[in-house]
Amino acid sequence: MNAVVLLGPPGAGKGTVAEVLVDKGYRHVSTGDLLREQIRLQTKLGLEAKKLMDQGQFVPDEVVVGMIRSLMESSDMSAKFLFDGFPRTQIQAEKLDELLQSFSGKIDDVVLLECPDEVIVERLSGRRTCTKCGAVYHIKYNPAERRDGCDMDGCELMQRPDDNEATIKNRLHVYAEQTAPLISYYTEQGLIHPVDATMSIGEVRSAVLEKLG
Ligand code: AP5
């Protein structure tokens, strides 16, 4: 049970890159998507998480690690995970190492999507997401071809509640404080592959595929 980690600030394009890696046999695991599913189902966990997510704060480590543990326990030993938005704190990174070791696995690579704050603000303010299937678009860089909704299922596109200016600023602040230190953690282990995420979607995807060889 091995893993690749997609690391990078909110809106750097982790989900957009993950789409092509799924075709290469990776199992895409986005903790943001898992939490949004809990919100949709209106579970106790989802309702608690929503309050934090709407403010751009992190959900507690034990909640997120618990979700990943359950997922690993119910997965095939040959699974190749692609973690998007996890780990996000030092504790989560250490717990992930422990969990993978307990399944005789390890992290093979960490792809770091590097993107300055001003690009992120533009990407997140222009992001639109399908209310049904979660497909991600951008009003300028990746618009839906249909004028009235999602290209996949025709459903309405919406703006995520945490994609407003105040929450974006807070998410960037929390990233700098709590997640950016993981860059040194993984650099020391020789796992980091930096990618310039300011390039076009196609160029970023190709660069990531090249790094993962
Ligand atoms: P999460 O859903 O993980 O949000 P995030 O990390 O803030 O990342 P995003 O999904 O916003 O962005 P992305 O990098 O995937 O970019 P995307 O591909 O969509 O987490 C949300 C919240 O959940 C957190 O704030 C926290 O509260 C909680 N949470 C989640 N995980 C947690 C954890 N482990 N611990 C604790 N709490 C956790 O692209 C963005 C836009 O840009 C799109 O419109 C896209 O079309 C466009 N775009 C992408 N690439 C390019 C490009 N190269 N050029 C032009 N446009 C591009």
pLDDT digits (tens, 9 = 90+) for 72-124: 999 988 889 999 999 999 999 999 999 999 999 999 999 999 999 999 999 99
Kindly state if the Cβ of 82 falls inside 6 Å of ligand 1: no
The domains found in the chain, sorted by start residue, are: 2-115+179-212 (3.40.50.300)
4, 108 contact by CB (below 8 A): yes
86, 31 contact by CB (below 8 A): yes
pLDDT-flagged residues of the chain (< 50): none
Exposure string of 104-126, with b = 16+ CB inside 10 Å and e = fewer, is ebebebbbbbebeeeebbebbeb
Kindly state if the Cβ of 29 falls inside 6 Å of ligand 1: no
- The pLDDT score that the predictor gives to residue 1 is 87
- The pLDDT score that the predictor gives to residue 156 is 96
- The pLDDT score that the predictor gives to residue 147 is 82
111, 206 contact by CB (below 8 A): no
For residue 15, report the distance from its CA to the centre of ligand 1, in Å: 6
In 10 A of CB 145, how many CB atoms?
7
Kindly state if the Cβ of 200 falls inside 6 Å of ligand 1: yes
49, 61 contact by CB (below 8 A): no
Looking at the annotation, which residues are catalytic?
A: 14, 88, 127, 160, 171
| Closest atom, ligand 1, to C-alpha of 33 | 2
